[in-house]
Amino acid sequence: MNLYNETKSILKKYNITANKKLGQNFLIQDEIVQDIIQASNVNKNDLIIEIGPGLGTLTKELLQSAGKVICIEIDTRMIQILNDRFKIYNNFELINKDVLKVNLKNLIKQEQKDNILNVKIVANLPYYITTPIIMKLLEEKLEIDNITVMVQKEVADRLVDVPGGKNSGAITYAINYYTKPEKIIDVPNTSFLPIPEVNSSVIKLKVLQKPSVQVQDEKLLFKIIKTAFMQKRKTLLNGLTNGGIGKKNSIEEMLINLGFDTNIRAERLSLDDFARICDYIETGKY
Ligand code: SAM
């Protein structure tokens, strides 16, 4: 049975329909499932954490290739389906919770007590909380190898852009701080049931052992970047002043001392440029 028919038949058997509010668009293209598994480079030494398994399309393949698969699914209706389908696998575990409320650090620590497994995140993410999920995975500094996920194409383009690129925003800098991002493949909306309004892309975020730039105060770095991008149309000088980072004349002096044009806009700065601004402020030269 192809994936489209299999998906239809599971929905019919359990008499359920997709819940739009939970971002339920089920993947129905076999090739894309394989692309995701390959991109993540899933193997028997891996602990895969799958976020939002839904009916279990990706899960089925992951269970064959990975050492262990832990699925985190918020929708209770999916729990019976997933248990019915996969309870025969001894490398399958299911958590019925909102992923944003799961203590992933503890979960990973627990799993690694006995076995040293390489941890990877795989998911066709619910679109309504893509960014909070990705930021949680990165900000909690989990010991993970990579995050291979399906996201809305527009979001993917922002996440994988280079800082300062035409699609970049504050989050692009955060992604490039923690990871090496890569687009794997664009996925048309017809690859899902029901068909969403937008197209998608699979991206892979290879998590760096240490951040790509070193700063004295990470929180301050992201505060500065967020403030600068909140007022993207303004000059960096006005953006940082209006956003309360400092007094106009001090910021102007700092920009001059660091060798920036005082009319420069946020999107012209590299991550390294923001790191220099951050350390300048932190060391009190400012
Ligand atoms: N993995 C399945 C697939 O590829 O066909 C389903 C993907 S669907 C785009 C997103 C899944 O995430 C749904 O099963 C939905 O119920 C689940 N989900 C939504 N919000 C969630 C949350 N906060 N925590 C965990 N799972 C969530």
Nearest to 102 by CA among 46, 66, 49: 49
- The binding-site residues of ligand 1, defined as CB within 6 angstroms of any ligand atom, are 22-27, 51-54, 57-58, 72-75, 78, 98-100, 124, 126, 129
pLDDT of residue 164: 85
Nearest CA to ligand 1 atom 7: 124
Residue with the bigger pLDDT between 231 and 58: it is: 58
Q: Which of 7, 24, 28, 94 to mutate to test the pocket of ligand 1 (most atoms within 8 A of CB)?
A: 24
Question: What SS3 class is residue 121?
Answer: strand
The answer to whether residue 284 scores a pLDDT higher than 80 is no
Mean pLDDT of the 169-197 span: 97
The answer to whether residue 285 scores a pLDDT higher than 70 is no
The dihedral over CA atoms of 115, 120, 126, 130, expressed in degrees to the nearest 10, equals: 120
Nearest CA to ligand 1 atom 23: 98
Which atom of ligand 1 lies closest to the CA of 24?
8
Question: What SS3 class is residue 99?
Answer: helix
Which atom of ligand 1 lies closest to the CA of 27?
5
Question: What SS3 class is residue 115?
Answer: coil
Q: What does the pLDDT look like over 196-248, one tens digit per residue?
A: 999 999 999 999 999 999 999 999 999 999 999 987 778 999 999 999 999 99
Question: What SS3 class is residue 223?
Answer: helix
- Residue 146, beta-bridge partner list: 120, 206
Percentage of the chain modeled with pLDDT above 70: 99
Residue keyed to tokens 């930021």: 135
